[in-house]
Amino acid sequence: MKKLDYLWQVLNTVLTLTKRTKEVKWLIWGIPLFSIVGGLIIGAFILILTGKSPILVYKEMFLTSLGSFYGFSEVVVKFIPLLLCSLGVLVAFRMLFWNIGAEGQFYIGAIVSTGLALKLSHLSTCQLLPILFIGGFAGGALWAVMTAVLKAYLNTNEIITSLMLNYVAFYMVEYLVYGPWKDPSGYGFPLTPQIPQSAVLPTFCNTRIHIGLIVAFICWILIWYLFKTPWGYELKVIGYSPKSAEYIGIKTKRNILLALLIGGGLAGIAGMTEVCGLVYRLQHGFAPGYGYTAIIIAWLSRLNPLATVMVSFFFSILSVGAAGVEITFKLPASLINLIQGAIFLCMLTGEVFIDHFIVKK
């Protein structure tokens, strides 16, 4: 043990981490940028391992997403739920409340809006769509508030709770599409009947881009605004120093509930737009993990709403690109998860250097 210890001391004294005295501004956006590059590089290594050329794959990825009008519109389509989910995660994370449940909130929003759409098919578009938006919001909000209540009042770990609820929500979808909501004319496939035309979100021109885009932008501006209000300030204080929040009388519990209501609601709207704008039904495996990607996006954008838009957009590009190369290069769908995970990891190793630097002793 002593020899290990000695070796250790030697290693430790060569390089140490020291706090910076002056802020290096460019690192704040530089590190996330480097993380993205780093993640792509790691992805490249893995591709080489499996015998594919990373240059060709990446080129094809970006060509797919940015090289054609159709590709670009697909990017925007994916961007909508990603942005909404990311904003939802952002609101919670600002308080250092680890809402990992965006995925589940997304599902519940989808469930509620599908259910409402199928039941209220007699209503017109103008009547139905607002109801569906509210329903989606409410579903996601309720799902998130459960986690919030357990944490605020019973001190239950929110990470595990929200995660468990993700699984529950997933199985609820499964239950509905295999069971009570299964389309009788669907040849036994696990999906619901298609939602009525009145529930479909109008699109722009010939693309699949639906008005969810407008909703997403409105939500984005709202969140940006909220962060600047006294309430946003309160969230920040709760996150940075819960004891100080108590000291100045901030109602922490109430804020947690409110923040998660909004956060969950945003993810719920994302679920609703996915159903009403894209898939037009509830079906098995319809959600490509937006809730988890949202976490990465929130972290990379360092909880800044302005950056969130850019990072979400970039991840949409990646996502569409990955789907494109999946078939051509015979790559597993989890390639995108791999790259995303690598980017996340690079960000975590890199962000230390925003506040610290390495000193040789």
Partner 1 sequence: MKKNKSTPKLLVEMKGIYKAFPGVVAIDGVDFSLEEGEIHSLLGENGAGKSTLMSILSGLYRPDRGEIYWQGERKVTISSPYDARCLGIAMIYQHFHLVEEHTITENIILGSKLPFNLSLQYYNEEIKRLGEKFNLSVKPTARIKELTIAEQQKVEILKALYNKVKLLIMDEPTAVLTPQETDKLFSILREMSKSGVTIVFISHKLSEIMAIADRITVLRRGKKVGTFQKQEVTPEKLAHLMVGELPEKFKSQISYTPKKDILKVTNLFVKDLQGNYVLKNISFTLKEGEILGIAAVSGNGQNELMETLAGIRKIFKGEIILNGKRIEATSARRKFLDGIHYIPADRKKVGTIGNLDIIENSAMRKYFQKQWQKHGMLIKDRIKDYFLPLINEYKLKLTTFSEKVKTLSGGNLQKLLLIRELDTPLCVLLAEYPTHGLDLEATQRVWNIIKEKASLGVGVIIVSEDLEELFSLSHRLAVMFKGEIVDIIDRKEATIEKIGLLMAGIKHSVNTY
Partner 2 sequence: MGAGELIIILISSAIRAGTPLIFAMVGETLTERAGIINLGLEGIMLMGALTGFCITFITRNPYLGVLAALVAGALMGALHGVITIGLRGNQIVGGLALSMLGSGFSGFLGKSFIGVKTCGFSKLTVPLLSKIPFLGPMFFEHNLLVYLSYILIIISWYFLFFTSHGLILRSVGENPAAADTQGINVILIRYIYVIAGGALSGLAGAYLSLAYNQMWIENMTAGRGWIALAIVIFGGWNTLRGTAGAYLFGGIDAFQLRLQAVGTNVSATLLKTFPYLITILVLVISSSGLLKSSLHAPAALGLPYWREEKE
Q: Distance (Å, rounded) from C-alpha 354 to C-alpha 174?
A: 44
Helices 69-93/125-154 angle, 10° precision: 40
Q: Does 155 bind partner 1 (CB under 8 A)?
A: no
Q: In this structure, what token pair is assigned to residue 239?
A: 């996150």
Instruction: Please state, in angstroms and as integers, the Cα–Cα distance from residue 269 to each residue in 36, 160, 255, 276, following that order.
Output: 28, 23, 21, 10
Q: Distance (Å, rounded) from C-alpha 43 to C-alpha 342?
A: 7
Q: Which does 197 bind (CB under 5 to 8 A by kind): partner 2, partner 1, none?
A: none
Computed over its alpha carbons, how large is the radius of gyration of the chain? 22
CB 144 to partner 1: min, Å = 24
Fill in the DSSP letter of residue 277: I
Q: Does 214 bind partner 1 (CB under 8 A)?
A: no
Q: Which of 51, 180, 188, 249 binds partner 1 (CB under 8 A)?
A: 249
Residue closer to partner 1 (CB basis): 241 or 334: 241
DSSP 308-326: HHHHHHHHHHHHHHHHHHH
Residue closer to partner 2 (CB basis): 68 or 349: 349
Q: Which of 13, 156, 229, 328 binds partner 2 (CB under 8 A)?
A: 156
Q: Does 18 bind partner 1 (CB under 8 A)?
A: yes
With contact defined as beta carbons under 8 Å apart, do 194 and 275 qualify? Answer: no
With contact defined as beta carbons under 8 Å apart, do 92 and 98 qualify? Answer: yes
Q: Does 4 bind partner 1 (CB under 8 A)?
A: no
Binding mask 254-293 for partner 2 (x = CB under 8 A): --------------------------------------x-
Q: Which stretch binds partner 1 (CB under 8 A): 11-19, 62-70, 211-219, 254-262?
A: 11-19
Binding mask 321-350 for partner 1 (x = CB under 8 A): ------------------------------
Q: Which does 178 bind (CB under 5 to 8 A by kind): partner 2, partner 1, none?
A: partner 2
Q: Distance (Å, rounded) from C-alpha 270 to C-alpha 180?
A: 24
Q: Does 167 bind partner 2 (CB under 8 A)?
A: yes
Q: Which of 37, 218, 221, 348 binds partner 2 (CB under 8 A)?
A: 348
Nearest to 316 by CA among 291, 351, 290, 348: 290
Nearest to 87 by CA among 232, 203, 237, 286: 232
Instruction: Indicate the SS3 state at residue 210.
Output: strand
CB 11 to partner 2: min, Å = 10
CB 222 to partner 2: min, Å = 25
3-state secondary structure 184-202: CCCCCCCECCCCCHHHCCC
Q: Does 21 bind partner 1 (CB under 8 A)?
A: yes
Q: Kindly determine how many residues on this chain lie close enough to bind partner 1 according to the rule CB under 8 A.
A: 24
Q: Which does 328 bind (CB under 5 to 8 A by kind): partner 1, partner 2, none?
A: none
Fill in the DSSP letter of residue 99: -
At a CB cut-off of 8 Å and minimum separation 6, what does 299 contact?
93, 344, 347, 348
Nearest to 147 by CA among 98, 112, 91: 98
CB 70 to partner 2: min, Å = 27
Residue closer to partner 1 (CB basis): 9 or 328: 9
Which residue ranges make up the site for partner 2 (CB under 8 A)? 4-5, 8, 12, 17-19, 46, 50, 98, 100, 150, 154-157, 159-161, 163-165, 167-168, 171-172, 174-175, 178-179, 292, 295-296, 299, 331-342, 344-345, 347-349, 351-352, 356
Which residue ranges make up the site for partner 1 (CB under 8 A)? 5, 9, 13, 18-21, 23, 225, 228-230, 233-234, 236-237, 240-241, 243-244, 246-249
